[in-house]
Amino acid sequence: MNYSEKVMDHFTNPRNVGEIPDADGIGEVGNAKCGDIMKMYLKIDGTTITDVKFKTFGCGAAVATSSMATEMIKGKSIDDALNLTNKAVMEALDGLPPVKVHCSVLAEQAIKAALSDYYQRQGIDPEPIVGKVPECEECH
């Protein structure tokens, strides 16, 4: 498989690997396609992501995309992190082979899950109340 130099660099020397014991938000996601797992830790001060670390039981492409994604959100705002797409991460890595595109989704989703965890801890964005929506009298 042909990987770009940047992918190889981030795979062999991944940035921000590890965990943050007192993280403000932790997100764990599994890849439905391959079963691999990613865990993302965020440290947040105000609206800024001051630190980010990740751990993965995933393939090389998952490691490389996560490494690049952490670099792209570190020091940035929460909004920037929410807007980070796997496409942008892949572009920053000079592309991925088509069969490996799904791996890059893991990092994007793990970041979003960690931010959602952060919001929930802050009570900013409580879990939507599924199934408890009042019934509309007009249609029942």
Which of 29, 44 has the CB closer to ligand FES?
29
Q: Is 136 a catalytic residue?
A: no
Show contacts with ligand FES in window 36-65 (CB under 6 A).
36, 58-59, 61-62
What is the length of the chain?
A: 140
CB 104 within 8 A of CB 61: yes
Using the Cα atoms of residue 128, residue 73, residue 101 and residue 26 in order, give the sign of their dihedral.
negative
Kindly give, in sequence order, each residue whose CB lies less than 8 Å from that of residue 53, ignoring residues fewer than 6 positions away. Answer: 16, 17, 18, 19, 20, 23, 40, 41, 70
Q: Which stretch binds ligand FES (CB under 6 A): 6-14, 28-36, 73-81, 115-123?
A: 28-36
Q: Is 34 a catalytic residue?
A: yes
Convert residues 92-111 into a mask of x (bound to ligand FES by CB under 6 A) and - (unbound). -----------x--x-----
Interface residues with ligand FES (CB under 6 A) are: 31, 34, 36, 58-59, 61-62, 103, 106
